[in-house]
Chain A
Amino acid sequence: MTSDDTGPAPGAGPVLRSNDQERKKRTVFPYVALAPAALLVLLLMVLPIGQTIWHSFTYWDGLTSKYIGLKNFQLIIHNPVLPQILLNSVIFLISVPLILAASLVTAVLVYEKVLGWRVFRFLFFIPNVLSPVIVGVLFSTVFLPAGAVDKLLSPFGLSNFAWLSNPWSARAVVILALVWTSFGFGMVVILAAMTTVDPALYDAANIDGASWWRRLRSITIPMISGSLQFLSVINVIYTFTSLFSFVFVITAGGPGFATTTVDYYTYITTFENGQFGYGAALALILFIIVLTLTIVQVKLFPNREVQQGS
């Protein structure tokens, strides 16, 4: 039932279906059609990754590079700022349970309030389509000392609080911005998962007099645990890959290095200080972190792409 289809790739021998067999003409189409995507991805993504890996072992100022072995990594290990930056990443992970909680609560509420649920789904997703730059500038403006938030809180005695000058409140503002822009996606995913839960389960629970909290804990969460895991992993990845814009416009990494993330620090060392080799080593570390998380995600959810009805 198999036949050789000699495309341009050496030794290509894909399995053809029997009714394809009579048309055993040599088809180059798949390779031609794949070429643009393959070339762009290989030349502009895979090759640069390779170059970044190579240059992380060099002294590189953007013009000349010289192999220096593990020197960059030794410098990174002894960089007094680095523990702070890694700690920041861990602190920013607080946003993951917050995003999950906000997504879950809003999804459950939207699910129960069947009337107009599309409207709420529509509204909750709005922050997701805004640029982090826009959200970030908005947040940094309203959290200025004596700004809009302070005005709101003045009855509570916080009329002139410099939110972005205190390490913890600055981090809180960044986390809040991330949670606000991200929970809509989680809500949409959870809501879709909930529509696959048999409503009879809820009816039975209602008859037994189960409380709202009890239904959430005993029916909803177990039934959608797959989606919750998926959202956890994806949001952990996002805290490493998508905080750059927020940090850039809200805090510029400060106060001190209190909100500096790995990618923001890499940006400063390379594009502002010109230490490209050192930056490449930092980027490589970030790449390994994200790659590990991606593998976790792919291994946990190999069939994530199974389509969703409704």
Chain B
Amino acid sequence: MLCLVGISTVYPLLFMALNTMKTSNAFAINPYSLPRHFSLTSFSQLFAQVPFMAAILHTLLVVVPAVVMATFFSALAAFVFTKTPVKGGNVLFWVMLMIMFMPGIVILLPLYVAIAHHGLANNFVPAILIYTAINIPYGTYLLRSNFRSIPDSVVEAGRVDGASWMRVFMRIILPIGRPGILTVGILTFLNIWNELFISLVLLHATNTEMITPTLAQLSGKYSTNVPVLMAGLLLGAVPTLLLYFVSARVFIRGMLSGAVR
């Protein structure tokens, strides 16, 4: 039974991988057979016909700065909320909590109009800032619960030694809170890499398009040439899968700290 469920989660990946190596005719005859010849034609076809690598590059251009900023700003905010004397922090945290699950369309209507009005459509900067902003509430929420488990005495000891708050943050909180911070970074990466709506609306020109809109359009283009389609899906999934494979343990545990009592 367990193995059956295990197969259900792994087989689709194998299905993609195996079928990338077939010709579209071979796929039409039997989608489940093993490929008879090892062939990478579908990949070369994909690269020749779709600006696929460009889409990956655009996505990285947006994801990397947004992940770094969202994670760092969330960690700073969570540190302030848990370890420093600050007034009004609760109000801000409460606001973040309320909009944590907010559907993107609620904020994207006015943002899209403002961005288009200022001639910034298909510009990476607004996309980076918006992705950073929408990932801050959950990141702060998760790190706040994480940093709470760091004893106050550690921070106080640093302060008594004359360390500035910034120094305490960089030298004490960041190292101790590393698993949680990594988790937030990974979650943010996955969120942005996998997200469709914002990338679809903000970056729709060919020279700015991100990976998910590119993949979404593939299905219409290659409904008759499934191996090329599978090649695209597989390559689009590789970065998130790799990230998950190398970090699964830290990631799962870190994520639970925000979800489980």
Contact = CB atoms under 8 A, between A and B. Distances in A.
B6 A123 contact: yes
Interface string A229-269: 01000000100110011001100000000000001001100
Contacts of B16: 138
B49 interface: no
A13 B87 contact: yes
Interface stretch (A80-88, A197-205, A281-289): A281-289
A137 B216 contact: yes
B260 A192 contact: yes
B103 A241 contact: yes
Given A46-B95, A304-B261, A308-B256, A37 B74 contact: yes
A49 B102 contact: yes
A7 B88 CA distance: 11
Contact of B103 (A23, A48, A118, A286): A286
A72 to B, nearest CB: 13
Contacts of A207: none
Interface string B7-21: 011101101100000
A127 to B, nearest CB: 5
Given A14-B85, A30-B89, A138-B16, A130 B240 contact: yes
A27 interface: yes
A206 B156 CA distance: 50
Interface in B213-261: 215-216, 218-219, 223, 226, 229-230, 233, 236-237, 240-241, 243-244, 248-249, 252-253, 255-261
13 contacts: A27-B165, A30-B80, A34-B92, A45-B133, A133-B212, A138-B233, A141-B223, A142-B15, A151-B30, A244-B104, A245-B216, A283-B106, A291-B98
Given A109-B1, A138-B233, A283-B109, 20 more contacts: A12-B88, A30-B84, A40-B129, A44-B129, A48-B107, A51-B109, A123-B6, A126-B9, A137-B219, A141-B219, A142-B31, A147-B31, A227-B261, A270-B105, A276-B109, A279-B109, A280-B109, A286-B106, A305-B141, A305-B258
